[in-house]
A and B are shown apart, each in its own frame.
Chain A
């Protein structure tokens, strides 16, 4: 691990992604979906990214993969920047994505073999038809699909099997890094566990690195080595998975974790919730200073005036909050 920590696979430095939103005729306003986010992902690790809808977690995933062009900031992959067209094309062989919705992310007019084979075609990763076919069958085998499924269309499969097809497609180019954007949230509980175990096994077998985006905190904890919490485009806390569950420091992480419904009646009855008042503000009118201050029980004038720095408070535990001494 120590060697890995020296050289992260993905380095994100002060990443910003603003979308221009029309607010009237000829008038636009920037929506700060991601606003100054920095973190590293080490080789072979799973970084969980959690937060509520609209907090920018999906945008982070897509911007890292250059599906959105970053407004500012830097992304280094394996120590090198990804900027030019050539670099991006090469980068796409090493970093891929699994999407949330297994229904809309597969082309209904293509057979399973063609869906999985498309990345191979794009990057010309085979020398003969035979080789292409063999690779497709190998990929299907990885994700537990039968070879007889190759000629079928996506609509003939259940949600869990479709997600397997999507995963096989993301593995086709033999990537180092996969962004998993809510890959199990559309699936039934019993199927979720199958897919989560498959992510685990594939990581072990192929040495993959994951950015695992999800809102189910128990699932994220299960699969992640470290977890990052986002709120309104900013990262508020980042730490080892167990550390963040046992000792969350940011008031938002504390209430988020206490809001998780625990599948155990006795614990659920005893659980004292830290209830948050109100809703998440619109990212178009984000509060000044700390984004969480409008719902935070500890907020002071300083929180409105200054953006808290995202700093390391103990080894590997980063928090952005002015009032850590009060929360303790």
Chain B
């Protein structure tokens, strides 16, 4: 049984301008000890997916009751705050993009770490203090005793993110959700943090959901990848399948629009048009208005998520059409 099973997740926001369907019926599962990357542009619903799992959404948000999020066999949709409190921090932890705004500036690092430990475990104050120190050592913070007494503003960005990771891992969760954990950091610091996450993931045999827009980070970290656009999954599969055998036009477009290592001044091939307005979603495939290969059916009907092979699924009419034609040719 998969550690986390998300089925037909719908999350919508009721705002003044109307109802925004941020996540539109997505399904995936995550095995213990695997790293799953969720990539997509701003507004594609990748963060909302993560927040739905933790149920830390804004009050205007609703998770549709026919959605299902199963953690270790336990249903979380509609489970209530009491159950969620035992899940958050203990079984699923999250680290955010900006380590400055997610740490409290008025308390010391030590206080905040101990608070998380006291809240989620049976340790007493003294034990919590020892555990906080141990966690800081684990994430390679230099001079950990001194850091415990410091405030977040006294630490550098990379150091703050290490403190956030220490806090998230203090209760040894099964799943760590990392929401753009290195976007605010410099490349050399990013490399340190990614390396740290990788080694901790192996040490604790924990699963990571890595939310990012950086395909480089995905290639480096992830076993499996989900590509999202406008709240739907375009394509999902192993990292190798997504990078070397992309089937959805949007994934292909993304791969063509980034400069590569062996860059020989080839022209980039951008995806045309502008990102979608979630308040005015088109009928049919959400990517159709920007898709160069769009056919008539693409604007009429949403494509189903179909199997490409054992490790790979995609939702694209172009793929379905090609597959049917190939099948037809095989029959003749």
A191 at the interface (CB under 8 A from B): yes
**Is B219 in contact with A268, judged by CB distance below 8 angstroms?**
yes
How close is B52's CB to chain A, nearest CB, in angstroms? 22
Closest chain A residue to B238, Cβ basis: A265
0/1 interface trace, chain A 244-278, chain B, CB 8 Å (1 if under): 00000000000110111111111110010101101
Among B188, B253, B254, the residue within 8 A (CB) of A256 is B188
Q: B7 an interface residue at 8 Å Cβ cutoff?
A: no
Q: Are B188 and A190 in contact (CB under 8 A)?
A: no
Q: In the assembly, what is the distance between CA of A222 and CA of B256, in Å?
A: 13
Chain A residues whose CB sits within 8 angstroms of the CB of B158 once the complex forms? 279
| Residues in A whose Cβ lies below 8 Å from that of B258 | 189, 192-193, 218, 263
The answer to whether A193 and B269 have CB atoms under 8 Å apart is yes
Shortest distance from the beta carbon of B258 to any chain A beta carbon, whole Å: 6
Give B156's nearest chain A residue, CB to CB. A279
Q: Are A273 and B191 in contact (CB under 8 A)?
A: yes
Asked whether B33 is an interface residue with its Cβ less than 8 Å from the other chain, the reply is no
Which chain A residues lie closer than 8 Å to B190 at the CB level?
259, 261
Q: Given known contacts A276-B192, A279-B159, is B260 in contact with A190 (CB within 8 Å)?
A: no
Chain B nearest CB: distance from A190 CB in Å?
A: 4
- Say yes or no: is A52 at the interface (Cβ < 8 Å to chain B): yes
Once the chains bind, are B194 and A263 in contact (CB under 8 Å)? no
Residues in B with CB closer than 8 Å to A271 are 220
Q: B186 contacts which chain A residues (CB < 8 A)?
A: 52-53, 215, 280
Question: Which of A218, A261, A280 contacts B259 (CB under 8 A)?
Answer: A218
Residues A274-299 near B (CB distance < 8 A): 275-276, 278-280
Enumerate B218-250 residues with CB–CB distance to A below 8 Å: 218-220, 239-240, 243
Q: Judge if B308 is at the interface, Cβ distance under 8 Å.
A: no
Whether a CB of chain A sits under 8 angstroms from the CB of B326 is no
Q: Looking across the interface, which residue of chain A has its beta carbon closest to that of B192?
A: A275
| A296 nearest CB across to chain B (Å) | 12
Chain A contact residues (Cβ within 8 angstroms of B): what range?
35 or more
Whether the Cβ atoms of A161 and B261 lie closer than 8 Å is no
Looking at the assembled complex, report how far the CB atom of B200 sits from the nearest CB atom of chain A, in whole angstroms: 16
B139 to chain A, nearest CB (A): 14
Known: A188-B213, A218-B260, A275-B192. A262 touches B268 (CB 8 A): no
Q: Does residue A166 face the partner (Cβ distance < 8 Å to B)?
A: no
CB pair B188–A276 under 8 Å, yes or no, is: yes
Once bound together, how far apart are the Cα atoms of A161 and B273, in whole Å?
10
The reply to whether the CB of A200 lies closer than 8 angstroms to some CB of chain B is yes
Please name the residue on chain A nearest to B191 by beta carbon.
A259
Residue of A nearest to B218 (CB): A263
Chain B CB count within 10 A is highest, among A194, A221, A259, A261, for A261
- Knowing A256-B187, A262-B261, A278-B142 are in contact, say whether A189-B219 is a contact too (CB < 8 A): no
State which of A190, A192, A200 has its C-beta within 8 Å of the C-beta of B253: A190
Question: Counting CB contacts under 8 A, is A125 at the interface?
Answer: no
List residues of chain B with CB within 8 A of the CB of A264. 219, 243, 260-261
Q: Which of A190, A215, A258 has the most CB of B within 10 A?
A: A190
A222-B265, A262-B216 are known contacts. Are A191 and B260 too (CB-CB below 8 A)? no
Q: Which residues A178-219 have CB closer than 8 A to chain B?
A: 188-194, 196-197, 200, 215, 217-219
User: Is the C-beta of A44 less than 8 angstroms from some C-beta in chain B?
Assistant: no
Task: Indicate whether A8 reaches chain B with its CB closer than 8 angstroms.
Answer: no
A245 to chain B, nearest CB (A): 8
**A49 CB → nearest B CB, Å:** 15
B-side contacts of A302, CB under 8 Å: none
Question: Contacts A53-B186, A256-B188, A261-B219; is A188 near B275 (CB within 8 Å)?
Answer: yes
Taking CB atoms, residues of chain B closer than 8 Å to A221 are 259, 263
Residues of B within 8 A of A217 (CB): 187
Which 8 residue pairs are nearest across A and B when measured between Cβ atoms? Answer: A261-B216, A193-B270, A193-B257, A222-B259, A259-B191, A190-B271, A52-B186, A188-B41
A contact residues vs B (CB 8 Å cutoff): 52-53, 158, 160-161, 188-194, 196-197, 200, 215, 217-219, 221-222, 255-256, 258-268, 271, 273, 275-276, 278-280
Q: Could you write out 29 A-B pairs with CB less than 8 Å apart? A: A53-B186, A188-B42, A189-B41, A190-B41, A190-B257, A192-B258, A193-B257, A193-B258, A193-B269, A196-B270, A197-B268, A197-B270, A218-B261, A219-B259, A256-B187, A259-B187, A259-B190, A260-B187, A260-B216, A261-B214, A261-B219, A263-B216, A264-B219, A264-B261, A265-B220, A265-B239, A268-B216, A279-B159, A279-B189
Give me 19 other A-B pairs in contact (C-beta within 8 A), A188-B213, A261-B219 excluded: A52-B188, A188-B41, A189-B215, A189-B258, A190-B253, A191-B274, A193-B268, A194-B270, A196-B270, A200-B267, A256-B187, A260-B216, A261-B194, A261-B214, A262-B216, A263-B260, A264-B243, A267-B219, A280-B186
